[in-house]
Chain A
Amino acid sequence: GQQLNQSPQSMFIQEGEDVSMNCTSSSIFNTWLWYKQDPGEGPVLLIALYKAGELTSNGRLTAQFGITRKDSFLNISASIPSDVGIYFCAGRPISGNTGKLIFGQGTTLQVKP
């Protein structure tokens, strides 16, 4: 099936540092979403992007929908300990109208106080 390549797989950073992660696909998506998952919980939507080139912020988080529609990145500025978790990108293929999302493999973020 369709795959998203998400990188890096994991990050271990110092509190206060900025973080960047990205997702690429071989096919075009019409929506990119970024989710965060805490241990034992379901993923929670952080940012949604709906058109190529769109840049959207949510507090310290900023995400962009790549102009080729095949990639997206998420930046977290001035990281804090509660940013720890697994971050997933997800894309919605342009074909069909099912709402089905394809997820990346996740980026595990650890923040050292």
Chain B
Amino acid sequence: DSGVTQTPKHLITATGQRVTLRCSPRSGDLSVYWYQQSLDQGLQFLIQYYNGEERAKGNILERFSAQQFPDLHSELNLSSLELGDSALYFCASSASPGRRFGYTFGSGTRLTVV
């Protein structure tokens, strides 16, 4: 157990629907990162939050949004889902955005859009 908790583990939904993925960071970690992993794209950075504030944005689609709450858990919202959104979504956390802090990843949420 890495200490980063992601729910749900699996999600199957239809095109056009909206889903919410949840992440609880490791105790004491203030930074949360979201990554998308699809078969042909590797791990793609989506977005980062630090202590409730958005810190960095990657190639996140406009249909996707995220937030980090006061208790530091984070949610990734995916709307108007398309078949191509099927992927593994990982959350990672670190104590600080600084370079000396490595990430700890959760086990991921496997999203299947049918």
Q: Tell me the A residues contacting B by CB distance below 8 Å.
A: 1, 30-31, 33, 35, 40-45, 48, 50, 88, 90, 92, 96-106
Contact = CB atoms under 8 A, between A and B. Distances in A.
Interface stretch (B52-60, B66-74, B75-83): B52-60
Interface in B64-114: 90, 92, 94, 96-108
Contacts of A88: 42-43
- Chain A interface SS verdict (over half): loop
Interface of B: 2, 4, 31, 33, 35, 42-45, 48, 50, 55-56, 58-59, 90, 92, 94, 96-108
B2 A100 contact: no
Given A50-B100, A100-B48, A42 B105 contact: yes
Nearest to A100: B56
A41 B90 CA distance: 10
Given A31-B99, A42-B108, A44-B105, 19 more contacts: A40-B108, A42-B106, A43-B90, A44-B2, A45-B104, A48-B102, A92-B99, A96-B56, A97-B97, A98-B48, A98-B55, A98-B97, A99-B56, A99-B97, A99-B101, A101-B33, A101-B103, A103-B43, A103-B45
B99 A100 contact: no
Nearest to A29: B99
A40 B48 CA distance: 23
A100 B104 CA distance: 13
Contact of B45 (A40, A42, A48, A102): A102
Given A98-B55, A100-B33, A103-B42, A42 B99 contact: no
